[in-house]
Structure 1
Amino acid sequence: MYLLGIDVGTSGTKSIIFDLKGNIISKAYAEYSLITPEPGWFEQDPEVWWNATIKTIKNAIEKASIKASEINCIGLSGHTNTPSFIDKNGKPLYHSIVWMDRRAEKQSYYINEKIGMEKIHKITGVKIDPFYSIYKVLWLKDNHPNIIEKIHAILQPKDYIGLKLTGVFFLDKALASSSGYLDINKGEYAYDLLEEIGFPIDKLPKLVLPYEIVGEVTEEAEKLTGLKKGTPVVAGSGDVMVNAIGCGTIEVGSAYNKMATASDIVVCIEKPIFDKKTRMVFYNHVIPNKWLLVGGSNSGICYRWFRDQFGFIEKEIAKSLNKDPYEIMDAEAENVEPGSNNLIFLPYLAGARSPIWDTNAKGVFLGITLNHGKNHFIRSILEGIAYDVKHRIEIIEKDFGIKINEVRIVGGGGKSNLWRQIMADIYNKPILLPSGSEQECFGAAILAGYGVKIYKDIAKTVKEIIPIIDIKEPKKENVEKYAKLFKIYVELYDKLKESFYSLSH
């Protein structure tokens, strides 16, 4: 008896087969790229996700040396706020607009003037910003009304994969919440608000629960993927939400930090917290009557950017040693003292999200001298991304009164011993590494197991099968050094804000 978890990520798709105790039986990954037709625009073709899903499912089944009929259920996860515009035949009508895309500035400004930030935040839990799906859809409506007319359903990435597997159009409530579509007070689409802003409500699919069976693998999907026809598919949710399950962030006050393309800090809370400054947002947790306070950022992509643009030697060395290029980069950074010899990186290569929310923000290296080498730049990027998270943790603790005692780490960045120690030293908190390291797929698989009644209780299951395998404690001497540099880091944006605006205009 096995569970299959599928995660449609920004950089690639994973398919992982687990046993009922959470052990990974096999996994497969297929990487893909972003399409950047204009500055600040980021797109992907949903068919690329589907092709990657087909490939990884086949590979995972083959590696596991099991029969497809032994997979009892399938759970789904995917990146959020990437609306996909699908016709009645399941075909994409336009590239999906990826979460980091900033083209909907005009639509966001209009809604802010017409409705106001406070009303939007109190109804939906999110804020007015081009990041959210609701504004990306309005952009498409304003610029391509002919496409809007042909749309049958606006889906998110993992729901598109669900459609291709089952033939059913759907959207889970937690993911609808993170998209800005949901009235978080009523637990249904925010019909009155959506109508007021001119959103095409008729293009939204039916709402389901994250642990609800939405359909079964079709004959066509069986032929393409090798899965068994009739295998139940459970809705799952967005990566932010399933990560909370996959790493054990289920108790009020528990927190996790995702380090991947994004770098989110997420805290489980017992009731919605409205931030007058809308620096943070909150989404429905997949567990009923709980919410997630979310401080999201694009900064995680900076490490991949450096690898792709300047890591040619590291890639060649990694290839010859059969290692990941990031391992080679980490080894270089490890030879640098904490603080990177006073080199500070501002990680706003794709603009700034929480807590600053400035599309115009840019990346900056501060303090470059003749004494700095490539390894200093590598380490300063790791530190700069961690400073970005620390900024949000300070606000959560000081302004919202939520004490975070420890932080669980998820995502590809969690594999790095060096980075986890840097986080511990900068956050001044223990960093816990849950077992498995594949929390999106694992969380989706747990939801699937609960949906088909293999597991009787989500919280109990999570506590039983997700042990902590490593803890990094803060080192006092490093904490003190980083605290001084962090103060400079926090002040840097305010000093450069006007310059960022001038560069963008």
Structure 2
Amino acid sequence: MTTEVTIGLDLGTSGLKGVALTAAGELVAQASRSYPLLTPRPGWTEQRPQDWAQALTGVLQDLMQKLNLANAVPLALGLSGQMHGAVFLDQHGEALRPAPLWNDQRTAEAVGEIERAIPRADLIARTGNRAVTGFQLPKLLWLRQAEPEVFARTAQVLLPKDYLGFLLTGQFRTEPSDASGVGALNLAAKTWDQDVLYALNLPPGLFPEVINSWDVVGTLVPEMAHLTGLPLNLPVVAGGGDNAAAGIALGLTASRPAVGSVSLGTSGVLFVPLVGPTPDPEGRVHLFAHADGSYHLLGVTLACAGALQWLRDKLAPEASFQTLLTEAAGVPDGADGVTFLPYLSGERSPHMNPDLRGAWTGLSLAHGRPEMVRALLEGTACALSDTYQVMRPLSAVTSLLATGGGAKNDLWLGLASGALGLPVTHTAHEPGAAEGAALLALPAAGLVPSIRAVLEGIQPEGETVVPLSMQRAQAQHHQQFRLLYGEQRAETGVMTGV
């Protein structure tokens, strides 16, 4: 008997992952391909769209081989991927240069240009966000200033996952959850804000049409069907940005506003569902559209598990991550007076300052690697807590589901729970953005009636981690931040003066 499935793709920073799921969420097949990260200058991060295209073909070929062996047939394909990147295409659909990514920091001058053209309060009211260096809109302004010949040839700018959609279908389309990370989407209307684009002298035609996350972008073109073995005219669904798609896979929705998520991945992410578009008036956390048709707040600290990866690679390449975490577990709250500020790539929430930098303080001859690692774990948890203090009055969240590589460690997750003051559950099964993309494709495949039906069927289960004391660590964190960067705002606990 033939098994009917949908395919989900997640175009991550380190690689492309593809999965095939049944309507019940059973994993039938998976495949992945990696590609390089380019860092041509300090603060610049890029990837070649051509590498993404090659990975796309390879992943889909692998999936189809496995599906044929399993006697499974794909009925639709959904997309997800890293947000904020910019793929600049000419009139023939050819990529003009490598794509700057979400953590690229070259656009500080472009952010200033946006804020001079549009008052910050007005921009937040319209788009849910202030101008941010990592967003796509400043990248476009940077291109106009730094590479005017390339800008003059640019006919379309796409987000990374939407570039995959173009390769698969030949259509230029996006959806609100990813588009709201561009910096020019009117969140209430879920269309490009003409006044914002006019103020920046950008033609609306540069941006793709916005459709619902569960809508069909187009059907598979013959060339891709021939290359991959996928069925001709397979529906390709718009999907969602990686955080929104992962939220769908966890069942996070505005109909259950008390449940959010915390991700201890390369970056640390807090995801909180909202019914309506209610931004932080100062834009210290992101407000994005959600892939279920509602909205969500997103708080992002740029260096979380990525900070531990950096420490291991630079300072302890001979040690395993488990060794480092075991050593840190023997150090008490406050890391014996050692503090780590985790701003290795600047910071997003709540500081929105690309110039912040990381630091260990309080080191003495008595300290060693265990205290430094413990301080790093505590510092990342404190950064998430600073973000949550902004989100708390705007949301109804009372518990969090945990995702990301760091969430597999009870020590790190317990520190995060203690810092946030919220119960955190480590789910037995940790679905990701690729699974969410496959779920978003279920209605188009005719396997479920609606995206609401998809979400109602997801009930994550797992164990709630024991929260660990962070009282001393948080006091040290705030004190050291004040000394280096400014004063603490009494009413929120969030640092200002940066």
Q: TM-score, normalised by structure 1?
A: 0.89
Q: 1:218 aligns to what? A: 221
2:128–2:288 CA contact under 8 A, matched in 1: yes
CA displacement at 1:3 relative to structure 2: 1.8
Query: 2:313 & 2:223 partners in 1: Cα distance?
Result: 37
1:61–1:68 CA contact under 8 A, matched in 2: no
1:102–1:131 CA contact under 8 A, matched in 2: yes
1:21–1:465 CA contact under 8 A, matched in 2: no
CA displacement at 1:102 relative to structure 2: 1.6
* Secondary structure at the counterpart of residue 249 of structure 1: coil
53, 56, 70: which one aligns with 2:73: 70
Number of residue-to-residue matches in the alignment: 480
CA displacement at 1:470 relative to structure 2: 2.7
- Over 3 Å counting, the alpha-carbon distance change for 1:30 and 1:196 in structure 2 is same
Matches within 5 A, 1:307-456: 307-314=312-319, 326-397=321-392, 400=393, 402-456=395-449
* Secondary structure at the counterpart of residue 441 of structure 2: helix
Matches within 5 A, 1:173-188: 173-188=176-191
Q: 1:231 aligns to what? A: 234
Query: 1:293 & 1:457 partners in 2: Cα distance?
Result: 24
- Over 3 Å counting, the alpha-carbon distance change for 1:129 and 1:68 in structure 2 is farther
Query: 1:68 & 1:76 partners in 2: Cα distance?
Result: 23
1:68–1:227 CA contact under 8 A, matched in 2: no
Q: Higher mean Cα deviation, 376-385 or 233-242?
A: 376-385
Amino acid at match of 2:286: V
CA displacement at 1:329 relative to structure 2: 4.1
Query: 2:225 & 2:314 partners in 1: Cα distance?
Result: 40
Matches within 5 A, 1:187-206: 187-206=190-209
Whether 1:23 aligns to 2:18 is no
Q: Higher mean Cα deviation, 431-440 or 196-205?
A: 431-440
- Over 3 Å counting, the alpha-carbon distance change for 1:39 and 1:131 in structure 2 is same
Cα deviations across residues 266-315 of structure 1 (Å, max 9, x unaligned)? 21112222323221221111222x2111212212222232233334323x
Whether 1:295 aligns to 2:283 is no
Matches within 5 A, 1:111-260: 111-250=114-253, 251-260=256-265
- Over 3 Å counting, the alpha-carbon distance change for 1:186 and 1:351 in structure 2 is same
Amino acid at match of 1:276: P
Q: Higher mean Cα deviation, 107-116 or 345-354?
A: 107-116
1:173–1:284 CA contact under 8 A, matched in 2: yes
Q: Where do 5+ consecutive residues of structure 1 fail to align?
A: 315-324, 499-505
Query: 1:485 & 1:328 partners in 2: Cα distance?
Result: 22
Query: 1:339 & 1:62 partners in 2: Cα distance?
Result: 52
Q: Higher mean Cα deviation, 46-55 or 346-355?
A: 46-55
* Secondary structure at the counterpart of residue 240 of structure 2: strand
Whether 1:493 aligns to 2:458 is no
Q: 2:496 aligns to what? A: none
1:257–1:266 CA contact under 8 A, matched in 2: yes
Q: 1:317 aligns to what? A: none
Q: Higher mean Cα deviation, 369-378 or 209-218?
A: 369-378
Cα deviations across residues 466-496 of structure 1 (Å, max 9, x unaligned)? 422232132xxx32xx122112212322321
Q: 2:289 aligns to what? A: 284
Query: 1:227 & 1:264 partners in 2: Cα distance?
Result: 34
463, 471, 483: which one aligns with 1:483: 471
2:79–2:434 CA contact under 8 A, matched in 1: yes
CA displacement at 1:63 relative to structure 2: 4.7
* Secondary structure at the counterpart of residue 30 of structure 1: strand
CA displacement at 1:164 relative to structure 2: 1.4
Computed over aligned residues only, the root mean square deviation of the Cα atoms, in angstroms, reads: 2.2
CA displacement at 1:59 relative to structure 2: 3.2
Query: 1:241 & 1:227 partners in 2: Cα distance?
Result: 26
Query: 1:135 & 1:157 partners in 2: Cα distance?
Result: 16
Query: 1:10 & 1:226 partners in 2: Cα distance?
Result: 26
Runs of 4+ in 1 over 6 A off after TM superposition: none
Q: 2:53 aligns to what? A: 50
Amino acid at match of 2:419: I
Q: 1:305 aligns to what? A: 310
Query: 1:166 & 1:401 partners in 2: Cα distance?
Result: 39
Query: 1:273 & 1:238 partners in 2: Cα distance?
Result: 19
2:268–2:303 CA contact under 8 A, matched in 1: yes
Amino acid at match of 1:284: A
Query: 2:376 & 2:181 partners in 1: Cα distance?
Result: 28
- Over 3 Å counting, the alpha-carbon distance change for 1:2 and 1:120 in structure 2 is same
Query: 2:22 & 2:339 partners in 1: Cα distance?
Result: 44
1:407–1:432 CA contact under 8 A, matched in 2: yes
Q: Higher mean Cα deviation, 414-423 or 101-110?
A: 414-423
1:11–1:261 CA contact under 8 A, matched in 2: no
Amino acid at match of 2:44: W
Amino acid at match of 2:423: P
Amino acid at match of 1:406: S
* Secondary structure at the counterpart of residue 341 of structure 1: helix
Query: 1:29 & 1:309 partners in 2: Cα distance?
Result: 27
Query: 1:71 & 1:436 partners in 2: Cα distance?
Result: 23
- Over 3 Å counting, the alpha-carbon distance change for 1:345 and 1:31 in structure 2 is farther
State percent identity of aligned pairs.
26
Query: 1:376 & 1:227 partners in 2: Cα distance?
Result: 52
Cα deviations across residues 60-83 of structure 1 (Å, max 9, x unaligned)? 444556368611211111111111
CA displacement at 1:327 relative to structure 2: 4.2
Query: 1:5 & 1:470 partners in 2: Cα distance?
Result: 27
Q: 2:493 aligns to what? A: none
- Over 3 Å counting, the alpha-carbon distance change for 1:403 and 1:484 in structure 2 is farther
Whether 1:266 aligns to 2:271 is yes
Query: 2:186 & 2:394 partners in 1: Cα distance?
Result: 25
1:269–1:292 CA contact under 8 A, matched in 2: yes
CA displacement at 1:204 relative to structure 2: 1.0
Amino acid at match of 2:318: I
- Over 3 Å counting, the alpha-carbon distance change for 1:424 and 1:212 in structure 2 is same
* Secondary structure at the counterpart of residue 278 of structure 2: coil
1:391–1:490 CA contact under 8 A, matched in 2: no
Query: 2:279 & 2:420 partners in 1: Cα distance?
Result: 24
CA displacement at 1:94 relative to structure 2: 1.2
1:248–1:462 CA contact under 8 A, matched in 2: yes
459, 464, 467: which one aligns with 1:471: 464
Amino acid at match of 2:280: D
